[in-house]
Structure 1
Amino acid sequence: MNHTDVANLDWRSLGLKVGHEVHYQLRTRRKLFCRCPAEFRHREPDYEVLRHMRPTLSELGEYDGTALMEFKTKKNVRYQLYADIDCTYEMDDTPPFPINGEALDIALRIGLLLNLNIVDEMHISRKQYLDGSIPTGFQRTAIIGVEGWVPFRGRKLGIIQLGLEEDACREVSDVGHDIVYRADRLGFPLVEVVTDATMHTPEEASAGARLIWRLLRSTGQVRTGPGAGRQDVNVSINGSTRVEIKGVPDTGLIRRLVAVEAFRQQQLLAIRDELRARGVSPESLKLESRELDRATVLGTGSPYLRRAADAGESVAAVRLAGFAGLLNRVIEPGLEFGYEFSERVRVIACLDRMPNIIYRGGSDEGLTDEDWGVIRELVNCGVNDEAVLAWGPAPDLRTAVNEIHLRAVDAAAGVPSETRQPHPDGTTGFERILPGPDRMYPDTDSPPTAISRERLDEIRKALPEPAWRTEERFRALGLPEDVAQSLVFSPRRGLFEKLTAGPGADPKLLGVALEQWSRWLSRQGFAVRQLSDEALAGLFERYRKGGFGREAIVHLMRGLCRGGALDALLAARGLGEVITGRKLETLAAAALKGATPDYAREPEACWRFLMGRAMRELRGRAQGRDVAAAVRKLAGR
């Protein structure tokens, strides 16, 4: 099984449904609920705070399942803080300030661009986060608008809601029971755009996310750079539950992630059906485990078990009734079903030294058939049963054994509702149980905020053109699709609009030069972004007046990046006017002197040879199409 096999699935018959939650930090001066600067820090922190998280009851007197799962990890959570950008509010020692008005106005502007129905009164809620990423244990969040849409491939892509919330800390490390967060981005204003689940192929899912991403970027009021924007991708197929792929940093990964997740869910449903055929149900599975004595452990040839015994750790075997052979089934490219059990143990029991479990046919190095016979007998395994070994400190091992059992129960039910971490190769790993409604409750520290009609009217007056309309306008000017899309949020968009408004402008050339050629030069190491709009405007104005051919533009841009003056660069290349007519034919003839290709034998190769000879002398001094015409005339073609 590889990625090619996954990509060839029939998405319609699978009933694939994908929706997005697109998050973007807003470009504001201050944080959302305090007056600290919204700035990153890259120096060593000023101080550190240690905390432990525990769940609280919801308004209905119930615990959220995710909160209970996180509590089982028993994490020591350390926060790295800075005296100049962090305050007592973020440590939950001070009530929140009124919401940042600048951030609210930006969110309202985005809501109007998304055709949302803006709420009359904004209410702040608390959303529990016990993974430690927010010191308070909850995130303050508010709904700004509901039931919007954006045009998408001849139809409307529904926008369920737009939220305004505070960002979490960024993770520094997570090893065992110790996790470290840096609190510089904590409290940054963040918008969350939630789409409906009406994207039905991986390619559609990728395109839908890019559309929302471009619209947000086009406002010029969201941050850019690593971590500023990220997507949660919700995936399901017929017969499965919703699975959330959390924090996808790049829309380019979405196509592969969705395809692999759909395949994973298909395989999990097949495993469920096989278990049903074997008479296994969630209710029939009982936790059956036994701790191995030291003599049994040392009697095996497994280096992992022997190392655990030498470290004073315990080893246990868990019986999975009816699971024989299923843990070896491939559910993601390069990953077996047993990986799902290993991930639960890694995340919840905090046993993160791999491998952390052993089963037949998996990472069972050193275990002989005789060893497995002894182990299986200890937990009363029958022919259709599987035994899984785990090891670690006694408290963690108890958690691990329980999680192995719970994952087996989930397997008998089908596809568990989970939040999963994306990997660069398109596979995913377990992160936590998918949160439910019990994690949300009102924030009694924050009063409602009225959103007046007058405020919305003022924002409407300054609304930019919607990104999709700008793209349509750029496409009508002849720009390639990728240029039309990237130019919408490009810092050179204003320059492009100014230059194309003038007489004699070539919009396609300008767009390609400002976007495609600039990106190519950046990849070559040239600081194109540091070029001023004035320098580029001067370059294109000289081109418009006939100072050189289009082939010279890239070379001149390279020279400007190196600090050269335009006049000096033109003089060094002998540029100043575009050569045409008889003068061009004379120079072309001189360039081709002595060239005697055999057109009859290899006409295309000869043509490329002659054009190469001519362009070597005339590139930038004449337009390429004129050089081609002169070469054809001289060659008698």
Structure 2
Amino acid sequence: MQQTIDYAEVGFKAGLEVHQQLLTATKLFCRCPAGLYTREHDGTVLRHMRPTLSELGEYDGTALMEFKTKKNIVYLLHESNTCTYEMDDTPPFLINPEGVDVAIEQCLMLGCDIVDELHIARKQYLDGSIPTGFQRTAIVGVNGLLPFRGRQLSITQVSVEEDSCREVSDTGHLIVWRTDRLGIPLIETVTGPELRTPDEVEEAILLIGRVCRSTGHVRVGMGASRQDVNVSVRGGTRIEIKGVPKAGWAPALVHGEAIRQVNLLKLRDELHNKAFTSPETIVVDHRDVTSILASSAIDHFRADAWQRWLEATGRRPGFECGTGPFSVRGIRLAGLKGTLEHPTQPDLTFVHELQGRVRVIAGLDQPPILVHDASWPGTAAELKAVRSHLNCEAGDALIVVWGAEGDTLTAVEEIRLRFVDALHGVPSETRQPFVDGHTNFERILPGPDRMYPDTDSPPLALDRERVQALEGKLPEAPWIREERYAKAGLPLDTIHFLIRRGGARLVDMMADRTDADIRKAGFFFGERVKGLRRKAVAVDAITDEQWIS
């Protein structure tokens, strides 16, 4: 299986959407406190999401996909950090001016053109992460440039928007969210697709993070910064790796996605060579094989074992699991033998692609989600009986799924659709990242049809005086400060730590007001303070004047 790749040869390119929470007292469109997280809740709300038409009278493909999942969406509320606005029972307040100012600062740091008027739009989300079904967002600046590796990295836009809920659990047809994070202001910084290698992706994430933190007006810590990485290769399409929590994850994830796309393009060519060229050539038959496998030693295939699994995991039929009797369904894929084992990501095959679709859309999530004849877990006699029942020929592939009958029927259609997608190469998807470097299907990649104006929020003029006042207070750009500190003799790791953790301001203050030079002050705040943190000393409680004195 392919593990290495020449990124230039395959036409690799990547871009970023870096999300950074802002350090404001209140949320973006209400006056609930921002950053007040809880583990408790004193109320719950159950919702079901339905798609709405765009301004052009069309449905977004992602919204339609989410609707097919038939999710029961439960929100855990706490009165200390949630109000009726978050539940869409109250119109939005005027946008938080503090959050807008921080977004303008970020735009100025990146050399963006500031818009004359802020227009708030709704971005549709039906995954349940926002109870209203949409996120309020507004573009603040466009056409910026960021010095990067001796060239300029384009900044397409910077937006201010509200953060989503925190996911608690996602099982079958039930997803649970906590609303404490909902509505916290954040900025989204979008780059052009100009990153050439996985290492450049990581470096750009860290650089944008240093720009954000240099203002001193953003939150830090776990979850305060997340990034979506958009990846494509020549002949492929844009894939979004959603919510990468750490920059250090990015190289392996991006490398794996590049290999995945190259391998999916090879699969497309193989299918075309076998005369699979249109949706009509993908023939999928299915039959119920519950009775054939009723006495199998494999638990997945038996109704009694499935019922025990439901009870052990607390699943509720009709709420977390689909309705209908237990069913084991055999699926014949005419002429497609060998395609299931086709490599995709490092150490994964096309079966993993099918498992992702079935898990997310059909709600069948009992591992391993599906089995196939190339790695059949049961006896040879069982496999022969199932293949015979489905009239499988030598060149046919076989898949078996199990669960509530309605969900197994949905799984059949999703498997067919994924093979139809394979005829075109790389389908546009949003994918979930994992620490080992692989990704899994999360949803169809959203398109422009999910955006429409927010009729509850008036436009906001950004006058020149406001922008100029903020411009006069801007901190030194990180790349300029890095060059100055490097000339003073500080190592790069220490420089990045100082900028990332806010110590650079104290370094300059100490150098200005004491006999310490930049190098001495930098080592003090970059190394000694780091050691104090490791010893659990509350260094954040020490004031600037106390440090300098």
Task: Give the TM-score normalised by structure 1.
Answer: 0.80
* Cα deviation, residue 496, structure 1: 1.5
Distance in 1 between residues matched to 2:447 and 2:385, nearest whole Å: 43
Structure-1 residue corresponding to 2:392 = 381
Q: Quickly say closer, same or farther: Cα 1:179–1:492, change in 2 above 3 A.
A: same
* Cα deviation, residue 300, structure 1: 4.7
1:254 partnered with 2:266: no
Structure-2 residue corresponding to 1:315 = 328
Q: Quickly say closer, same or farther: Cα 1:294–1:316, change in 2 above 3 A.
A: closer
Distance in 1 between residues matched to 2:27 and 2:306, nearest whole Å: 51
Structure-1 residue corresponding to 2:371 = 358
How many residue pairs get aligned? The number is 532
Structure-2 residue corresponding to 1:121 = 117
Distance in 2 between residues matched to 1:221 and 1:263, nearest whole Å: 38
Mapping of residues 336-347 of structure 1, within 5 Å: 336-347=349-360
Moved more, 339-348 or 291-300: 291-300
Task: Report the AA paired with residue 325 of structure 1.
Answer: G
Moved more, 376-385 or 165-174: 376-385
Distance in 2 between residues matched to 1:514 and 1:321, nearest whole Å: 66
Q: Quickly say closer, same or farther: Cα 1:103–1:504, change in 2 above 3 A.
A: closer
Identify the match of residue 329 of structure 1 among 342, 355, 360: 342
Structure-2 residue corresponding to 1:110 = 106
* Cα deviation, residue 502, structure 1: 5.9
> Which whole-Å deviations, capped at 9, do the CAs of 1:386-436 have from their partners, x for residues lacking one?
111111101111111111111111112111110001100111111000001
Structure-2 residue corresponding to 1:451 = 462
1:288·1:379 contact (CA, 8 Å) conserved in 2?
no
SS of match in other structure, 2:237: coil
Q: Quickly say closer, same or farther: Cα 1:260–1:517, change in 2 above 3 A.
A: farther
Distance in 1 between residues matched to 2:162 and 2:506, nearest whole Å: 34
Identify the match of residue 239 of structure 1 among 235, 239, 247: 235
Q: Quickly say closer, same or farther: Cα 1:295–1:377, change in 2 above 3 A.
A: same
Identify the match of residue 442 of structure 1 among 453, 461, 485: 453
Identify the match of residue 405 of structure 1 among 416, 422, 431: 416
Task: Report the AA paired with residue 154 of structure 2.
Answer: G
Structure-2 residue corresponding to 1:415 = 426
1:41·1:184 contact (CA, 8 Å) conserved in 2?
yes
> Which whole-Å deviations, capped at 9, do the CAs of 1:529-570 have from their partners, x for residues lacking one?
5666667656xxxxxxxxxxxxxxxxxxxxxxxxxxxxxxxx
* Cα deviation, residue 281, structure 1: 2.1
Distance in 1 between residues matched to 2:544 and 2:82, nearest whole Å: 37
* Cα deviation, residue 287, structure 1: 5.1
* Cα deviation, residue 491, structure 1: 3.3
Identify the match of residue 487 of structure 1 among 481, 498, 519: 498
Task: Report the AA paired with residue 340 of structure 1.
Answer: E
> Which whole-Å deviations, capped at 9, do the CAs of 1:286-312 have from their partners, x for residues lacking one?
452322243312265533212578645
Q: Which runs of 5+ in 2 are unaligned?
A: 308-324
Task: Give the TM-score normalised by structure 2.
Answer: 0.92
Structure-1 residue corresponding to 2:383 = 372
Task: Report the AA paired with residue 322 of structure 1.
Answer: G
> Which whole-Å deviations, capped at 9, do the CAs of 1:557-586 have from their partners, x for residues lacking one?
xxxxxxxxxxxxxxxxxxxxxxxxxxxxxx
Structure-2 residue corresponding to 1:512 = 523
CA RMSD of aligned residues (A): 2.1
Structure-1 residue corresponding to 2:34 = 38
Distance in 2 between residues matched to 1:190 and 1:409, nearest whole Å: 38
Task: Report the AA paired with residue 342 of structure 1.
Answer: Q
Mapping of residues 213-612 of structure 1, within 5 Å: 213-286=209-282, 288-298=284-294, 300-307=296-303, 311=307, 312-362=325-375, 364-368=376-380, 370-501=381-512, 505=516, 507-519=518-530, 522-523=533-534
Distance in 1 between residues matched to 2:382 and 2:296, nearest whole Å: 6
1:193 partnered with 2:206: no
Mapping of residues 78-117 of structure 1, within 5 Å: 78-117=74-113
1:79·1:182 contact (CA, 8 Å) conserved in 2?
yes
Moved more, 194-203 or 325-334: 325-334
Moved more, 326-335 or 127-136: 326-335
1:169 partnered with 2:165: yes
Task: Report the AA paired with residue 342 of structure 2.
Answer: R
- Greater RCO between the two (CA within 8 Å, min separation 6)? 2
2:34·2:81 contact (CA, 8 Å) conserved in 1?
yes
Distance in 1 between residues matched to 2:328 and 2:304, nearest whole Å: 7
* Cα deviation, residue 379, structure 1: 3.2
2:72·2:173 contact (CA, 8 Å) conserved in 1?
yes
Distance in 2 between residues matched to 1:318 and 1:41, nearest whole Å: 46
Distance in 2 between residues matched to 1:445 and 1:95, nearest whole Å: 7
Distance in 2 between residues matched to 1:497 and 1:272, nearest whole Å: 58
Q: Quickly say closer, same or farther: Cα 1:151–1:296, change in 2 above 3 A.
A: same
Distance in 2 between residues matched to 1:304 and 1:43, nearest whole Å: 35
Distance in 1 between residues matched to 2:89 and 2:513, nearest whole Å: 58
Distance in 2 between residues matched to 1:19 and 1:31, nearest whole Å: 28
2:239·2:429 contact (CA, 8 Å) conserved in 1?
yes
2:294·2:303 contact (CA, 8 Å) conserved in 1?
no
Q: Which runs of 5+ in 1 are unaligned?
A: 539-637
Structure-2 residue corresponding to 1:602 = none
Moved more, 210-219 or 522-531: 522-531
Structure-2 residue corresponding to 1:14 = 10
Q: Quickly say closer, same or farther: Cα 1:304–1:43, change in 2 above 3 A.
A: closer
Identify the match of residue 127 of structure 2 among 125, 128, 131: 131
Greater radius of gyration (CA): 1
Identity of aligned residues (%): 51
1:500·1:507 contact (CA, 8 Å) conserved in 2?
yes
Larger helix fraction of residues: 1
Distance in 1 between residues matched to 2:339 and 2:105, nearest whole Å: 52
* Cα deviation, residue 328, structure 1: 1.8
Distance in 2 between residues matched to 1:336 and 1:277, nearest whole Å: 20
Distance in 2 between residues matched to 1:285 and 1:181, nearest whole Å: 41
Distance in 2 between residues matched to 1:361 and 1:500, nearest whole Å: 68
SS of match in other structure, 1:326: coil
Distance in 1 between residues matched to 2:117 and 2:544, nearest whole Å: 43
Task: Report the AA paired with residue 337 of structure 2.
Answer: A
Distance in 1 between residues matched to 2:360 and 2:97, nearest whole Å: 39
* Cα deviation, residue 367, structure 1: 3.5
Distance in 2 between residues matched to 1:534 and 1:454, nearest whole Å: 32
Distance in 2 between residues matched to 1:367 and 1:528, nearest whole Å: 64
> Which whole-Å deviations, capped at 9, do the CAs of 1:107-163 have from their partners, x for residues lacking one?
111111111111111111111000001000001111111111110011100000011
2:17·2:228 contact (CA, 8 Å) conserved in 1?
yes
SS of match in other structure, 2:279: coil
2:16·2:190 contact (CA, 8 Å) conserved in 1?
yes
Distance in 1 between residues matched to 2:285 and 2:532, nearest whole Å: 62
Identify the match of residue 19 of structure 2 among 9, 14, 23: 23
SS of match in other structure, 1:180: strand
SS of match in other structure, 2:335: coil
Moved more, 228-237 or 383-392: 383-392
